[in-house]
Amino acid sequence: MRELAAGRPAGRGKGGQYARRVTPEQLQDVVRTAVGAVVGRGALPVEVPADVVIERPRNPEHGDYATNVALRLAKPAGRPPRDVAGLVAEELRGHAGIATVDIAGPGFLNITLAQGALGRIAVDAVTAGAAYGRTDTLAGQKLNLEFVSANPTGPVHIGGTRWAAVGDALGRLLEASGASVTREYYFNDAGAQIDRFALSLLAAAHGRPVPEDGYAGDYIGEIAAQVLAAEPGLLERSEPEQQERFRVRGVDLMFAEIKRTLSDFGVVFDVYFSERTLHETGALEQAVARLREKGHVYEADGAVWLRTTDFGDDKDRPLIKSDGAPTYFAADCAYYLDKRDRGFDKVVIMLGADHAGYVGRYKALSAAVGDDPEANLEILLGQLVNLVRDGQPVRMSKRAGTVVLLEDLVEAVGADAARYALARASVDQMIDLDLDLWSRRTNDNPVFYVQYAHARISSVLRNAADLGIALGEAADVDVAQLAHERENDLLRALGEFPRVLVAAAELRAPHRVARYLEELAGTYHRFYDSCRVLPRGDEEVTSLTTARLWLCAATAVVLRNGLAVLGVSAPERM
């Protein structure tokens, strides 16, 4: 094995102790501790803030990080912000991981980390591995996350596919931030749409035209054939019996295909909840009774109503129709209560923009049962997805005939590109997804660009291993060697990852992770182009070589972890 050339002792350098590291999260604690010290000696008559804002300055010349804590404390302290900033800066300058603290403008603190302190971020990332970026920010929150929930009357279409990608990524994000998440699919296997589905299968089996308001598409004929194969003598029975068997077997077959398609897409739910069980267990009647006990139910025109206008809805909603049949909203009430009875602190529901009208009634329902809609219920609305190829819209599916399906998108661009593309945009934005772009293996394809960065690093690490150059022990790496501007840019970007995940989880915005990964990939490519990692020819292996390998390995960890949050693979070769 090639030996490392002599260099500065690992963990030492300017500022004394490079074992002291400062990431953005740790810097928040450092600043709070500094404020606490100033308050403790009586210099500031204020309460120590529970949180401190740490940001990256737009201009790198202003330091590695900045905080406005002095401006926040100035008014309660009754002192000018720059005076408060001076007191806090004095405390911060004594921290071994901080090189300089400057007071800027009206009282901002610009903080430059000691060289080795910044470098330790790379060691932290490699050492933590898959755990790097995970926090306990949302620990203690028990969330029920419902998404997709497409009716079992047809394959998953492109709208449901967007929710599959975004919902699964959001679940992963929330878990990475410490929340307990149950992913749930509401299986609408009761109601008029199921009757129309059964009649459509029956018509296909007999070679008759699709009934009015029925379901068309090749998949109807395929499922009808499967039902007949399982029950060969079915068409000899009475038509009501046939319809019932097509309903039972057809729904089972359709939902099995939905689950398989989603699973192939990397989306598996913890709970598949059957609407039919609400009818069979008496949950609907119990829900109406509970709402009646709260005093919000009344009868009019032979129907039973929930007075949702008392809670901001635009009109009252029927629970039981005049013919005695429960409404869809009654099932919604029973289902919401079931979730809350299972101990979930918050019910999160992801719906398409065409369901915007549900928001008011759901919030009214939450309030009617005694919950706080702002605390116990959250509804996310997502916009539509348009597919284009050669600049023209793609509208037709091979199997469904009128809509584009999940399997069509995956066939066109692959599961990784599909998931990344759908999660890359904010859900409140309509997407025009260019199939030509997302199927390319070039850097203008965002997912390829990010995955290629990971593959490039993997190649560097393989080449290092072939040369006999090992990372060695974390305690031995001289991270103070990482002093190049491009190295520091990359280290700061790696240090931001935990905060990116937390912000994306709290804002329900997986697209922030995708955009961060693209920026990180670009930062890595600029570093690689400016800083040679491996020695050439007979050049010695130095401590800088090893430090840069750690930086490469750390970047691979973050790329891998970020892609995992989006449900996208991180290939080692491309």
Q: What is the pLDDT of residues 142-197, one digit of tens each?
A: 999 999 998 999 999 999 999 999 999 999 999 999 999 999 999 999 989 999 99
Q: Phi and psi at residue 109, in whole multiples of 5°?
A: -110, 120
pLDDT number for residue 478: 95
Which DSSP state fits 568?
-
Report the distance separating Cα 107 and Cα 68, nearest Å: 7
Give yes or no for residue 244 having a pLDDT over 90.
yes
Give yes or no for residue 18 having a pLDDT over 50.
no
Per DSSP, helices labelled H in 129-207 are 158-176, 192-206
In this predicted model, what pLDDT tens digit does every residue of 203-231 receive, in sequence order?
999 999 999 999 988 999 999 999 999 99
Encoded tokens for 412? 């066109």
Confidence label for 19 from pLDDT (cuts 50, 70 and 90):
very low
**Which domains, ranges and CATH numbers included, belong to the chain?**
24-114 (3.30.1360.70), 443-566 (1.10.730.10)
Which DSSP state fits 262?
H
pLDDT number for residue 245: 97
pLDDT number for residue 114: 83
Encoded tokens for 308? 């949702």
Mean pLDDT of the region 46-54: 92
pLDDT number for residue 493: 96
pLDDT number for residue 22: 67
Report the distance separating Cα 107 and Cα 101, nearest Å: 12
pLDDT number for residue 488: 93
What is the model's pTM? 0.87
Mean pLDDT of the region 69-88: 95
Q: Which of 39-48, 170-179, 300-309 has the lowest mean pLDDT?
A: 39-48
Give yes or no for residue 21 having a pLDDT over 70.
no
In this predicted model, what pLDDT tens digit does every residue of 22-38 receive, in sequence order?
678 889 989 999 999 99
Q: Under a CB-based contact definition with an 8 Å cutoff, are residues 534 and 496 in contact?
A: no
Confidence label for 8 from pLDDT (cuts 50, 70 and 90):
very low
Q: Under a CB-based contact definition with an 8 Å cutoff, are residues 246 and 224 in contact?
A: yes
Encoded tokens for 282? 């008496």
Confidence label for 403 from pLDDT (cuts 50, 70 and 90):
confident
Residue type for 259, please?
Answer: K
CA 446 vs CA 94, 287, 433: distances in Å = 43, 48, 12
Nearest Cα to 71, choosing from 31, 112, 98? 31
> Helix/strand/coil (H, E, C) string of 470-485?
CCCCHHHCCHHHCCCH
In this predicted model, what pLDDT tens digit does every residue of 316-370 receive, in sequence order?
999 999 999 999 999 999 999 999 999 999 999 999 998 999 999 999 999 999 9
Give yes or no for residue 485 having a pLDDT over 70.
yes
Q: Which residues of 139-174 are buried (b: 16+ CB within 10 A; e: fewer)?
A: eeeebbbbbbbbbbbbbbbbbbbbbbbbbbbbbbbb
**Nearby residues of 539 by Cβ (< 8 Å), 6 or more positions away:** none
Give yes or no for residue 9 having a pLDDT over 70.
no
Confidence label for 10 from pLDDT (cuts 50, 70 and 90):
very low
Mean pLDDT score of the chain, rounded to an integer? 93
The H or E element containing residue 489 is helix 485-506
CA dihedral sign, ordered 420, 422, 428, 432:
positive
In this predicted model, what pLDDT tens digit does every residue of 263-281 receive, in sequence order?
999 999 999 999 999 999 9
Q: Which residues of 509-526 are buried (b: 16+ CB within 10 A; e: fewer)?
A: bbbbbbbbbbebbebbbe
Strands in 174-281 per DSSP E: 180-187, 271-274
In this predicted model, what pLDDT tens digit does every residue of 441-451 receive, in sequence order?
999 999 999 99
> Helix/strand/coil (H, E, C) string of 235-247?
HHCCHHHHHHHHH
